[in-house]
């Protein structure tokens, strides 16, 4: 690997009502608004110095346009393009400024069809970490990770680790060691992306980091007081996988957002992936509560980066081989 992917960096979601989205994300979750117009809402967490980590675009239907990773330098984009093209994966360039506040960007459908974006440069914005007078709602601090529902988790696992340089922190496996879900990282936390088995490609959720577990509770209180009780899908609780506190929400268009806090460091080179048995209920919720059926069945439709049309869903097809884990 001769490029450096740093971290999960932004999500581009299509929504049908920007005013409704603003109410939910700003008053309820506590995002800061960097800029907005009649078709776009650029949001960032309170500790983020970048222009935005969530871009909401007004559209006729709610879709996922791209999930994005920041790379170390602009030259990394050319190296990534060469890799994808070598693998027969068609890429698309966005010129600097074509996406507002963003430098040159590369888009591609990954090995399972997820719409990826890579960039090195984004306009800066004021970091609001110590502007406590502006804190509201759940006080979202920063973007943390994506979770993708795909038809072949092992294929994603091998591609992201073998080709893109990700590492595995935790995984769920059946008795025959087929991988049902995997948590992969570039920054020194539990994950920048996770893959779960199911009809896909679809985006299961985007997760944002909170300052502490009480922010989850306060987020619930504020959301309920604003009339969003029905938007609380699952939690608060603690994951077995990642050990983090979580709260899953559905925004006004049905996109799933996770509020997240409290995972652990994975930076040591001798860190070994943690295996969870698929029948261990504690992997979902350490305290034992099961997730609702909608959490497994529903996810956001993704768009083709070249045509802009929704991708058709494929059915999961698990491999039979026993994988070799690369740390």
pLDDT tens digits, residue range 17-44? 999 999 999 999 999 999 999 999 999 9
CA distances for 96 relative to 35, 126, 159, 231, 239, angstroms:
18, 21, 28, 37, 39
Taken in order 218, 222, 227, 228, is the CA torsion positive or negative?
negative
pTM assigned to the model? 0.95
Q: Which fold has domain 5-119?
A: 2,3-Dihydroxybiphenyl 1,2-Dioxygenase; domain 1 (3.10.180)
DSSP one-letter code for 38:
S
Task: Delimit the CATH 3.10.180.10 region(s) of the chain.
Answer: 5-119, 138-301
| pLDDT (tens digit per residue) in 312-324 | 999 886 643 333 4
pLDDT along the chain (327 residues), means of 10: 94 98 98 98 98 98 98 98 97 95 98 97 98 97 98 96 97 86 97 96 98 95 97 94 95 98 96 90 84 93 97 75 38
Q: What are phi and psi of 304, to 5 degrees?
A: -70, 130
| pLDDT (tens digit per residue) in 278-322 | 888 887 789 888 889 999 999 999 999 999 999 999 988 664 333
User: Other C-beta atoms within 10 Å of 173: how many?
Assistant: 19
Of 183, 162, 69, 56, give the one whose Cα is nearest residue 115: 69
Question: For the domain with range 138-301, which CATH number is right: 3.30.360.10, 3.40.50.10280, 3.10.180.10, 3.40.1640.10?
Answer: 3.10.180.10
DSSP one-letter code for 140:
-
User: Other C-beta atoms within 10 Å of 13: how many?
Assistant: 24
């Amino acid at each position: 690997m001769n490029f450096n992917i740093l971290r999960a960096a932004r999500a581009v979601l299509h929504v049908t009502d920007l005013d409704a989205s603003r109410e939910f994300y700003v008053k309820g979750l506590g995002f800061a608004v960097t800029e907005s117009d009649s078709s776009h809402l650029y949001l960032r967490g309170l500790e983020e110095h970048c222009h935005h980590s969530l871009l909401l675009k007004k559209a006729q239907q709610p879709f996922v346009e791209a999930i994005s990773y920041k790379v170390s330098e602009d030259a990394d984009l050319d190296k990534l393009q060469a890799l994808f093209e070598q693998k027969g994966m068609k890429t698309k360039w966005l010129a600097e400024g074509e996406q507002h506040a963003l430098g040159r960007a590369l888009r591609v459908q990954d090995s399972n069809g997820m719409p990826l974006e890579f960039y090195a440069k984004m306009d800066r914005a004021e970091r609001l970490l110590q502007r406590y007078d502006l804190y509201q709602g759940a006080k979202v601090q920063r973007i943390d990770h994506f979770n993708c529902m795909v038809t072949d988790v092992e294929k994603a696992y091998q591609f992201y680790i073998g080709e893109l340089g990700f590492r595995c922190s935790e995984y769920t496996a059946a008795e025959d060691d087929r991988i049902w879900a995997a948590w992969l990282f570039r920054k020194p936390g539990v994950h920048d992306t996770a893959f779960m088995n199911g009809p896909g490609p679809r985006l299961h959720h985007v997760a944002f980091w909170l300052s502490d577990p009480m922010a989850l509770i306060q987020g619930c209180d504020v959301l309920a007081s604003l009339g969003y009780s029905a938007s609380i899908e699952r939690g608060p609780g603690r994951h077995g996988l990642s050990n983090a506190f979580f709260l899953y929400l559905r925004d006004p268009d049905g996109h799933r957002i996770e509020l997240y806090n409290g995972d652990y460091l994975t930076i040591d080179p001798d860190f070994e992936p943690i295996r969870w048995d698929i029948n261990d209920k504690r992997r979902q919720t350490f305290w034992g509560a099961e997730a609702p059926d909608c959490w497994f069945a529903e996810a956001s439709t993704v768009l083709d980066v070249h045509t802009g049309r929704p991708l058709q869903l494929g059915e999961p097809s698990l491999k039979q081989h026993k994988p070799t884990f690369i740390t």
